[in-house]
Amino acid sequence: MMNTRVVITGLGAVASIGIGKDAFWDGLRSGTPGISPLCAFDTSKHFTHNGGEVKQFAAGKFIDEEKLHTMNRATHLAVASARLAVADAQFTTEQLSNFIVGVSHGTTLGAAQAIEGVDDALVHTTVVSADLFRQMPPHTAPAEIAREFKCTGPHFMVSTACAAGNYAIAHAYDLIRFKRADIMLAGASDGISRIEYTGFNQFSAVAPERCQPFDKNRRGMIPAEGAGMLVLESLENAVRRNAPIYAELLGYGLSCDAHHMTNAAVDGITACIRNALRDAAISADDVDYISAHGTGTRANDRAECAAIRDVFGDRYRSIPVSSIKSMLGHTMGAASALEAITCALVVKNDILPPTINFETPDPECDVDCVPNQARHHVVKIALNNSYAFGGNNASIVIGKFLQ
Amino acid sequence: MRNVVITGIGVLSPIGIGKEPFWDALAAGRTGFRPVTLFDTSSFRTNIAGEITDFDPLALLGKKGLRDLDRSTRLLCSAAKLAIEDGKLEITGEKTHTTGVAVGATYGSLHSISQFDRTAIIEGPRAVNPSHFPNTVLNSPASQVSIRFNIKGFNTTVSTGFCASLDAAAYAADFIRLNRADAVLAGGVEELCEETFMYFHALGYLSGADSSTASCCPFDARRKGTILSEAAAVLVLEDEQTAAQRNAAVLARFRGYANAFDPSAKENFHGTGAGLKRAVLLALEDASLAPEDIDYICACSNGSPELDRTETAVIKSVFGSHAYATPVSSIKSMVGEAYSASGALALSAAVGALHRNLIPPTMNFQLQDPECDLDCVPNKAKQHRVQNVLITAVDPYGQSSAAVLGK
């Protein structure tokens, strides 16, 4: 029953560096920075002003005009990513109806923009529209995706903060192996949020200009937005319909630091990676690439590199470890979903995205971070790491598809 | 595949704190509705809710580490503590890595989020207290359970609204079935606060919002909406063999579960029938049981005109002639609608029904609705042999979930 192989057959990316899998991959390969001055809200009283906003996103391209006002930004991004992923998997909505299709979605903030809208109205004692209230629950994003594609299968929403994308993909993997669904739309979304931006500012965690993971002079993370969606299905299903296969999902591992709400713990991360390797039935020697959580904060990068040293021993400096957050900023719950898309494209194309903005090596983060330039590298197995507030960790293992 | 059993329960509800007091209150048909004291209700047309008025976090959790925790987190940590004690669960050594946490919490603490944001609007972003920021993430209550009780296996927050804690329990059961964990604290939490009250008030879910007297009377022809409440409930789900090895008292068996989505669902539970029907059928299949094997249905009906009608119709459609022979009661007539926590409360009540062979009543029942004509166990608990219980949950955005517990 649980021997079902799960493959990735569709990718939908909505990010500051590109919308759609091809534009996103071009952006990653060319090391495109996606950070710019924020327009979504007033940052004049914050310490920093930059973010990873998806400025070229036009929700109306993906969602009926009359429905737009019933959804918040995170849901707009989510539905768009799902639409892109379904099209990329060469499905029409009609074809999808022949299968049991489920949705597994993740988020950090849920419908933060709706909550912020209500807060504005409460402070300025104006009337809150019913539309705004309707958008408030975080699970409106997966609900709208399921409505859009008439999905009647298993439905799941996880809000494990900045590891939510990996959690959502991991659960979809189990659902397919349990044969509860033929096809899962699995991913995550977060819209740029004032609450989040203010919080990280007050933590002095936001870099003023750019995100520089693993660099000795790194100054922090950069809040961003985006959505990533993957079409997952059983290998049997994919073969039967002659689907394009990007990669195979080989397993996942979770762990919890049980240590601190905001400071990562090295042993929690190592436990998570080891759980993922065991679940995928591979050894540390089999990993060819690590997509780092790599937020660009001093504490995160140091803990992650220490954990990689612990798990991979002598090999740790020969495994490329890059952070696409150097380009996108931190897209919160969406981050690990976009990074999972990246890993699928890495094993498909044998090209590694760089860590941009890298200038000065940090002896405490002396991994090969693929500095500044994409690189050709044969990758059979990629490890996608994510860590969140609350010490909620999740790693997934993505492998090159081999018959 | 491993079997999953329930070996501990911790409940904080408007009608009782602790497993036995909660079951006693259900048996006695006690209701937990009273005027809200937690926030100013003058801008609302009703001031009645299921507030937990006898909650003493200091007594339950001690002083250490309590200061920065919001109400949701305090409620959930308290429920986890009661569940660990009830299950005599020891989370030490290797067990810290084989134990997990799965919690249904849709808004985390919406009050914490909104207060943080409103302070920034009024006083400027540099005026907010950074130590309040961690409370704004939706997984904060669950994560604090891990931190407090040193649980490192995994920690997952499920945010599927009304279905959330039933889904979290099923997620936990899957982790045990798949050998990803030996024991999981599974449950849900929802705190009563101005912001969630405003949400349900504005969208027409609350009885009393038309300025009549608030009443939660599921299946009753007079029903006009539900009463919002707060609760935290945590169950210890455990691998059967692991539980046997430590001689744990087994309270019930987690037999099956399923969920489904209905894309045609509309606000206030309109059109959710097809999803619920599919979820119930698949849950019975997952449990390898026929409708005749179900002795009690712990319903999600909450006094909403459409939900109660839909649930009744679905039960009739799935159970056929057996529907009228199956007691179907709503504990929400006593505990109110605890949103994300309601599934965990229902699971806790279902375990009580199995344990005591006693079916909790549907209180406030006066006027029969021809469209809700099943045996709702009106106003008085009923002795009845209970081997298997079906528990349902429906979310107005389209999801339905169903779980089956057995002796």
| Domain identity same for B107 and B161 | yes
**What is the Cα gyration radius of chain A?**
20
Tokens of A162: 């900045």
Closest C-alpha among B216, B236, B213, B211 to residue B226: B216
Percent above pLDDT 90 for chain B: 96
**Most B CBs within 10 Å, among A204, A256, A262, A330, to test the B interface:** A256
Task: Report CB contact under 8 Å: A107, B159.
Answer: yes
- Listed in sequence order, the residues at least 6 apart from B351 whose beta carbon sits closer than 8 Å to its beta carbon are B6, B9, B235, B251, B252, B405
pLDDT band for position A103 (50/70/90)? Answer: very high
Average pLDDT of the segment spanning A317-331: 97
Distances (CA, A) of A133 to A117, B196, B237: 9, 10, 35
Q: Is the CB of B122 less than 8 angstroms away from the CB of A123?
A: yes
Section A295-301 average pLDDT: 95
Give B58-80 as a 3 state SS string.
HHHHCCCCCCCCCHHHHHHHHHH
Closest residue in A to B117 (Cα) is A195
CB contact (8 A) between residue B138 and residue A134: no
Please tell me whether residues B283 and B158 are part of one structural domain: no
Report DSSP state, residue B398: S
Distance between start and end Cα atoms, chain B: 19
The per-residue pLDDT for B210 is 86
Helix axes of A298-312 and A266-279: crossing angle, nearest 10 degrees: 50
Name every chain B residue with its beta carbon within 8 A of the beta carbon of A194: 117, 120
Nearest CA in chain A to B135: A261
**Following DSSP, what letter does each residue of A148-160 receive, concatenated?**
HTT--S-EEEE--
Do residues B198 and B262 share a domain?
no
- CATH code of the domain covering residue B229: 3.40.47.10
Averaged pLDDT, B132-149: 95
Q: Which residues 113-132 on chain A approach chain B with CB closer than 8 angstroms? A: 115-116, 118-120, 122-123, 128, 130
HSE value, Cβ hemisphere, 13 Å, CA-based, for A62: 27
Residues B260 and B248 in one domain: no
Q: Are residues B207 and B145 in the same domain?
A: yes
Tens-place pLDDT, residues B335-356: 999 999 999 999 999 999 999 9
Contact residues for A42 (Cβ-Cβ < 8 A; gap 6+)? none
Distance CA B348, CA B13 (A): 11
Q: Which residue of A has its CA nearest to B133?
A: A199
SS (H, E, C) A214-240: CECCCCCECEECEEEEEEEEEHHHHHH
ipTM at complex level = 0.97
Element housing B194 (H / E): helix B194-202
**The tokens of A113 are what?**
């923009």
Q: Binning pLDDT at 50, 70 and 90, where does residue A93 land? A: confident
Rounded CA separation B315/A371 (Å): 61
Mark which of B252, B275, B299 sits at the end of a domain. B252
CB-closest option in B139, B149, B202 to A389 = B139
Give me the pLDDT at residue B271, please: 87
Query: Which residue among B151, B195, B397 sits closest to A256, beta carbon to beta carbon?
Result: B151
Q: Residue B109's pLDDT is what?
A: 87
User: Which of 3.30.1300.10, 3.30.830.10, 3.40.47.10, 3.30.465.10 is the CATH number of A6-240?
Assistant: 3.40.47.10
- At B185, is the secondary structure helix, strand, or coil? strand
- Please tell me which residue of chain A has the smallest CA distance to B147: A258
Position B216 pLDDT exceeds 70: yes
- Strand partners of residue B257: B403
Give CA–CA dist A399/A343, Å, rounded: 9
Q: In B247-290, where does DSSP find H-type helix?
A: 273-286
pLDDT given for residue A32 in this prediction: 97
The strand pairing partners of A255, in sequence order, are A393
Which class for A198: exposed (0-12), middle (13-18), buried (19 or more C-beta within 10 A)? buried
Q: How confident is the model at residue B267 (pLDDT cuts 50, 70, 90)?
A: confident
Cα separation, B194 vs B105, in Å, equals 17
Q: And the tokens for B142?
A: 């669950």
User: Start-end ranges of CATH 3.40.47.10 in chain A?
Assistant: 6-240, 253-399
Domain extent at residue B338: 256-406
Distance CA A174, CA B175 (A): 9
- Mean of the pLDDT values across residues B62-91? 96
Judged by CB atoms closer than 8 Å, whether chains meet at B128 and A118 is answered as no
C-alpha R_g of chain B: 20
What confidence tier does B108 reach under pLDDT thresholds 50, 70, 90? Answer: confident
Query: What are B33's two structure tokens?
Result: 């509705």
User: Is residue B253 over pLDDT 60?
Assistant: yes
Beta carbons of A199 and B399 less than 8 Å apart: no
The rounded distance, in Å, linking the Cα atoms of A300 and A207 is: 14
Cα gap B12→B10, rounded to integer Å: 7
**Residues of A annotated catalytic, as ranges:** 162, 293, 330
Distance from CA of B308 to the nearest CA of A (A): 21
Q: What are the structure tokens assigned to B193, written together?
A: 């606060």
Residue B368's contacts (CB-CB under 8 Å, 6 or more residues apart) are B220, B221
Helix (H) or strand (E) holding B382: strand B382-383
* In this structure, CATH architecture of domain A253-399: 3-Layer(aba) Sandwich (3.40)
Give the pLDDT mean for A165-176.
98
Asked whether the beta carbons of residue A123 and residue B259 sit closer than 8 angstroms, the reply is no
**Is residue B241 domain-shared with residue B377, that is, in the same domain?**
no
Q: Is B293 exposed, middle or buried (0-12, 13-18, 19+ CB in 10 A)?
A: middle
CB under 8 Å to A109, separation ≥6 — which residues? A74, A138, A190, A191, A193, A195, A196, A332, A333, B137, B138
Helix, coil or strand: residue B362: strand
Both B129 and B276 in one domain: the answer is: no
Kindly report the nearest CA distance between residue A351 and chain B, in angstroms.
32
* Segment B306-330, tens digit of pLDDT: 999 999 999 999 999 999 999 999 9
Provide the domain count of chain B: 2
Query: Does A339 score more than 60 pLDDT?
Result: yes
| Last residue of one domain, picked from the residues B224, B252, B280 | B252
- Does position B74 have pLDDT exceeding 70, yes or no? yes
In sequence order, what DSSP letters do the residues of B203-242 get, joined into one string? TT-BTTTTSS-----TTBTT---B-BB-EEEEEEEEEHHH
Of B252, B279, B303, the domain-final residue: B252
For residues B217 and B333, membership in a common domain is answered with: no
Q: Give the pLDDT confidence score for residue A1 in this predicted structure.
A: 56
Q: Judge: A391–B122 Cβ closer than 8 Å, yes or no.
A: no
Of B373, B395, B376, give the one whose Cα is nearest residue B304: B395
Give the C-alpha separation, A316 to A366, whole Å.
Answer: 9
What average pLDDT does the structure give for chain A?
96
- pLDDT for A2: 74
Mark whether B224 and B288 lie in a shared domain. no
Pair (B196, B335) in one structural domain: no
Which residue in A1, A160, A183, A263 has the most chain B C-beta atoms within 10 A of its own C-beta, making it the best mutation to test that interface?
A160
Length of chain A, in residues: 403
| A174 to A96, A102, A188, A245, A279: CA distances (angstroms) | 20, 12, 17, 19, 12
Task: Tell me, yes or no, whether B221 and B92 share the same domain.
Answer: yes
| Packing angle of the helix pair B110-123, B194-202 (nearest 10 deg) | 100
Same domain flag for B127 and B168: yes
Are residues B190 and B12 in contact, defined by beta-carbon separation less than 8 angstroms?
no
Structure tokens at A21: 């899998």
pLDDT tier, B107 (very low <50, low <70, confident <90, very high otherwise): confident
Return the pLDDT at A265: 93
d(CA B282, CA B245): 32
Q: Do A261 and B147 touch (CB under 8 A)?
A: yes
